[in-house]
Each structure stands twice: as structure tokens, then as C-alpha cells.
Amino acid sequence: LQGLPADTQACLAVPLEAESVVVGLLALLFREPPAAEEALGRLEGFLKHAVPALARALRSDRKTVGMLRAIERLTNLYDLSKAFGSTIDMQELNALIARKAADLAAAETASLWLLDGDEVRLAATAHNENYDVEHAPAAVGSPVVGDLVADRETFVRAEIPADDPLRAENPGYALRNVMAIPLVEEDAPVGALVLANKRGRHPEFTPEDTELLADLGRQAVRALRVSRQHEAEKKVEELDALLAVSREITATLDLDKVMRTVVNATAALIRYDRCAIAVQDRGRLRLGAVSGVIELDRKSPDIRRTEELLQWVFLSGVDVAVTVEEDGSLTTDRPETEEKFRAFFQESGLKSFYGVLLKDEEGKLGVVGFESKDPIVFDPETRDLLQILVNQATVAVRNAQLYRQVPLVGFWKPVLDKRRKLLEIPRRRRLAWAAGAAILFVVLFLVPWRFRITGPARILPSRRAAVTAGVDGIVGAVYRREGEVVRANDVIATLKEESYQASLADALADSRIATSDMARHLETGDAPSMFAAQSRRDETAARVALAREEVDRTRLVAPTSGVILTPRLEERVGQSLARGEEFCVVGDVGTVTAEVAIREEDAAYVRTGSPVALKLNPYPTRTFQATISRVGARIREEGGGDKRFLIAEVRVNNADGSLKTGMVGRGKIRAGNRSIAVLVLRRPARWIYNKLWPLLP
């Protein structure tokens, strides 16, 4: 009864049970001692209803607590997923995993260990910012992390014995309890997470903490896998960038181009605001190129300051790395450089400088400097890639310098001077000239133009065809007149055919008689008479064919298409014509022949079938299209041999009869397509070659 009010004389205590478990105690205080049995009797009705209500309340409370824990777990998992997905940098992710583990488990310290090959290395250690941790350790769990990774089993130690190796790990740090979970990815260990000294109302690690840290471990494993993939892709990109830069700087022996490539292409490997390179030229260090600068202005204060700094690094003989910290202090490998770089940073506004020498077994070649407004931080991989690039740049600079010493380069020095003067012209003007030259080149050498050979042309007389009598006879009828257009095989006139029809009738009668005799002798079996009759039949058949041919020849037909040129044909009716005698003439004016005279120099381009365009003097606005039908077999001469030319015959369609014999004009023979430059320069080039050829060996 200690601690009760002073006037308390009696206490009635009744235990409260729910689900066979004592969950509470009901205490009634009395100032005067009551009758116990009477008081208990009065409480029976109350307890009958109070105990079930208390049991229901406890069950509801447990359900609510379970739901709250589930919600808290889902919230924690979401926060972890969001936090781990916020970065893919390996170092930042390691620190974030350790810090989140310490916060979720309410532990003082958390250490993340990762498996690297056959060794386990410390990746990050975090201390809970909500608690004051005295003698905070650099790491916890190093004595047990190896067994933890090998066994892949979570363990919790609520008490740490005095002889436990964990206590000896950090003598100044009071270690009370430890929880460690392995990090496993597809049944393969990748690391471990060790937490020490839980704080809070219950300073011991519980199964809920173990389950929560297991969820965190699974999230951490996925995030670490993504980060490793990012690191691998980053390394591949850096190697690709290194390969591209190496190809550029080794693809030329021009020293100026090599230096420009080094200062501009290195941005793929290291972040900087300005990069400069200086090389030794004839015993003197000369600034060769600055990133982002096409033409160096050596009078500029920034350029002079950079050149002086590179010269100082070159003379010092070692690489230099200087960085301004947030508190204004300088971080450098050489303390004696602080004052010099402090003044340099104040004048330039920069905060970091990294200078590396270009040197080989023969000595120093130059120096490359990187300037940045932010601290330049190198990880080991980037430093190795940069060193490879520096070595390749050294080789490229050495090769370019050796190439300059070749005598041929000195021979071309005037050309290089002209090129340098050309580069001094404003870039916009040079681009305009280059564009004009490119357009002119395309027009002269790439644009095809029709190649035509010209020469005088004239129309030759039309081709004439005579209509002759095939047999002797008298003209019986005329069907065509002078000037009419006829086609081949059209009937122009006919001869009287009575005598030829009579001969045909006699021959047909004799043929039928011979055929009848042959059939009769064949029936009687008289072979000699049958053969004689067969001979007569064959003879009469030949006579029939001849008679029919003579009848057909009484028709006078046009041998070709054209126009009838003979006048007054109708007056020849009744006139006797001997066999082969001319009746009229048909002229072929639908197609005429023209001659085009081509100079001897152009005779090689003339081919049969080439298209030709004719322009005749009577028709100045009309062009006649034709093709070459025949090329002359020899060269003709005129004017005592001064003019030599080749004749090409051309067939021209003259359906309307506008072309007359003897017309003259000009003809153009198309010999394909050539570039404009070839068309303009072919005659001068041929003349020059003909003059030089006798002098050639």
C-alpha cells in the first residue's frame, strides 16, 4: 500500500483476464474497511460485462497496431525505393544505404560491407544524426563480416561479452548489441550490413527490426545492381571517348591540329572550364592551343596568365594539382605552390587547376593544364584514362615534331604560309568563298550538259522508183494521177488482159484433160500411158502458173510508198507497152536523206543511230529530228586540204513534204552528256596535247 493516499484504509484488488491471460488489475481504495464479500458481490455484475469488453478492446487494438505496422512497413519500403532510386552514383548510394539502415533500426552506427572479388571491403559507415554518439567508430562488424557473408545468415547479439572480438574492434566505443544481415543477389552474396547499439524505448534489436532490415537489404541489392550497371556503362563510354580521342590525335601529323584536338576532345573524360597545352619549340615553351579558342590572342591577360602558369609547371618538372576548398584553404601536394596559386585563383576566379607534363624517354615535350571553377575530383579509373590519354598525346606531339624536321616539310613551307594567311581571313568570308567554289565545282564538273557536234547540212535528192510493165500489153485503164500519194502495192493502172485470160483458159483445159487421162490409165493399169499423162499434167500445171502470173502482171502497182511524179498518165490509155518499159515514176518524199559535214577533230564522237537536230534556212523556227543512218568511210577534203570533214547521212521524216532537194542549213549531232568543264576545255586541251605529244619520249 505504499504510495497510496494517506487516508486509505483498505484496497480491493481484482485481476482482469482476457483470453486466459491477465491483462490488467482493478484496484478499489476505501477510507473505511468494507465488508469484502459484500463488495465482491457488488462487483460481479460489473466484471461480467467489463472483462469481455476489455478483451474486445484489446483485440481491436492489436488489429489496429498490426495494420499500422503494415502501413509503416509499406511506407518505409516506398521511402527506401524512392531514396535508393534517386541516385546511381556508387559512393552516394553506399552512404545512403548505411544512413537509412541506421535511421530505420534506430541504431547508433551502421556499416555497409561489399564483396570485392575474394575480399570484403568497407563501402560506407553512417552514424545516426538523432543521437549523440561518443567516440563514433569508423566501422563496425569487421571481425564477423567474413563469416556473415560466407554463411549468409542473419544474427543478432543482444549482449556482447568482454572477450568478443567485436569489443576489441573499437576500444573507445561502448558496444552493447549488434545486428548483421547478409546482402544476397540470386543466391550469391554481395555484401553485408552491420548495425550497432540500438536506441529508443526498447534498446534491443527485435524480430521486427530484422524483418525491416531484410526488406532494406533487398532494396539495397537491387539499387547496387543498377549502380554497378551504370558504372559499367560509364566505363564503356569513357573507353569509347578515349578511343575516339586517340584516333583523332593519332590520325594527323599536323602539330597544331594535334594540340587543338587534345584541348577540345578531352572534355569527354574530364570536366573543366578551360584546357590549354604548351609544347617546347626550339628550346622555348610555346602555348599551342586553348579550348574554345580558334585563334590565340597572345596579348589577352587570360592567355598570358595561362601561358606563364604552364611554363612554371613545365620548369618545375612534376605534375601539379591545386584545389580551393569551401573555407578558402588550398589543397595541394606541394605546399610551396600555395602562394602562387592563391594569387592565380584570385585573378582568374577559378577554384581548381591540374597540370600534367608531356614527357617520354627523351625528355619533356610540353604540359597540359586543366582549369575549372569547380573542384576537379579524380576517381582512380578517370585518372588512369587521363594518364593513357596524356601518354598518347605525348606520342602524337613527338611524331608531329619529328615530321616537321623532315626536309620535305621545309620545301612546302611557302604553301603553309599561304594557308596560314588564308586562315587569317575572317571565317565568314572563307565560308562564303568555299561555298562559291563548291558551287562552281559542282556546276563545272558534276552537272551534265548535252554534248553536240555541229556542221553544215543539205538535203539530198529524193529516192525515185519506176513503175514498169511486167508483160507486153496495151494500157487498158489508169486509176491514179500525177501528184497523188500512193502506198506500196497500190494499183496505178492495168493492161488489157484478154489474151492472157485466153491463154490461162487453154492451160486450165489442157490441165484438166491430162488429169482425166492419168486417172483413166490408172484404173486400166496402163503404166506407160499413165506416166505420159502425168507428165502432160505437170506441164500443163506449169503453164497454168505462168499464165496466172502473166495475168497478175497486167496490173501496174507502186513499188514503194510515195507520190506519182509522171504527168498526164490518163493520156496513155490504149498505148502499147513492152515488157520492162517504164509507165510512171513514184518518188519517196515521206523520208529524205540529209548530209551533215563534221570536222575531222570531232569524227571520233559520231556513231550510227545518234540523234540529230536539223535547222534548215527556209524554216528558221522549226527543228527537224532525225538519226544517223550511215557514217562515211573516208574523210573528204575541200579548199586544197585546208578543210577536212566527215559526212554523216541522216534519214529525216518528211511526211508533209516540206523538205525539198538542195535545202541547206546546220545540223547538231548529240554525242551524249559531258561536264561543262570538259565541253569548254576539250579543244584547248587537245591543241596543247597535240603540241606536246611530239616532245614526249
Q: Which three cell numbers stand for residue 481?
A: 494521177
For CA atoms 684, 689, 690, 691, the dihedral sign is positive
Domain boundaries, the chain: 1-84, 86-233, 274-419, 497-553, 589-695
pLDDT for 413: 59
Q: Give the Cβ contact number of residue 469 at 10 Å.
A: 20
Q: Which amino acid is at 695?
A: L
Q: Give the Cβ contact number of residue 595 at 10 Å.
A: 17
Average pLDDT for residues 462-470, to the nearest whole number? 81
In this prediction, residue 315 has a pLDDT band, given cuts at 50, 70 and 90, of confident
pLDDT for 230: 76
Query: Is the confidence at residue 1, as pLDDT, over 60?
Result: no
Q: What are φ and ψ of residue 94, in 5° steps?
A: -60, -45
Distance CA 212, CA 201 (A): 18
pLDDT for 410: 54
Average pLDDT for residues 423-428, to the nearest whole number? 80
pLDDT for 494: 92
Domains 86-233 and 274-419 share a fold: yes
**Non-local CB neighbours of 222 within 8 Å, separated by 6+ positions:** 84
Distance CA 483, CA 568 (A): 10
pLDDT for 407: 59
Architecture of domain 589-695: Beta Barrel (2.40)
User: Which of 144-148, 382-386, 523-527, 593-597 has the weakest average pLDDT?
Assistant: 382-386
Q: Which residue has the higher pLDDT, 682 or 471?
A: 471
Q: Which residue has the higher pLDDT, 163 or 213?
A: 213
Query: Is the confidence at residue 341, as pLDDT, over 70?
Result: yes
The answer to whether the CB of 354 falls within 8 A of the CB of 369 is yes
pLDDT for 461: 64
The answer to whether the CB of 130 falls within 8 A of the CB of 141 is no
pLDDT for 640: 62
pLDDT for 7: 77
pLDDT in tens, 478-513: 999 887 888 888 899 999 988 888 888 888 888 888
pLDDT in tens, 607-640: 888 899 999 999 988 999 888 888 887 888 876 6
Q: Which residue has the higher pLDDT, 368 or 231?
A: 368
Q: If one looks up domain 274-419 in CATH, what number appears? A: 3.30.450.40
pLDDT in tens, 134-169: 788 888 888 888 888 888 888 888 777 777 777 777
Average pLDDT for residues 689-697, to the nearest whole number? 80
Q: Which three cell numbers stand for residue 460?
A: 539530198
DSSP for residue 3 = T
Three-state DSSP at 219 gives: helix
Q: Which amino acid is at 18?
A: A
pLDDT for 77: 65
User: Which of 166-180, 235-249, 318-332, 407-421 has the weakest average pLDDT?
Assistant: 407-421
Q: CA of 122: how far to CAs of 46, 95, 650, in Å?
A: 63, 11, 97
DSSP annotation string for 414-480? HHHHHHHHHHHS-HHHHHHHHHHHHHHHIIIIISEEEEEEEEEEEEPPPEEEEEE-SSSEEEEEE--
Q: Which residue has the higher pLDDT, 462 or 394?
A: 394
Task: Output the average pLDDT for the chain.
Answer: 81
pLDDT for 666: 92
**86-233, which class in CATH?**
alpha beta
For CA atoms 342, 343, 344, 349, the dihedral sign is positive
In the chain, what percentage of residues exceed pLDDT 70? 92
Query: Is the confidence at residue 113, as pLDDT, over 90?
Result: no
pLDDT for 80: 65
Task: Report pTM.
Answer: 0.40
User: Which of 190-199, 261-270, 473-482, 526-535 has the weakest average pLDDT?
Assistant: 261-270
Average pLDDT for residues 419-443, to the nearest whole number? 83
Query: Is the confidence at residue 69, as pLDDT, over 70?
Result: no
User: Which of 61-70, 154-163, 349-358, 455-464 has the weakest average pLDDT?
Assistant: 61-70
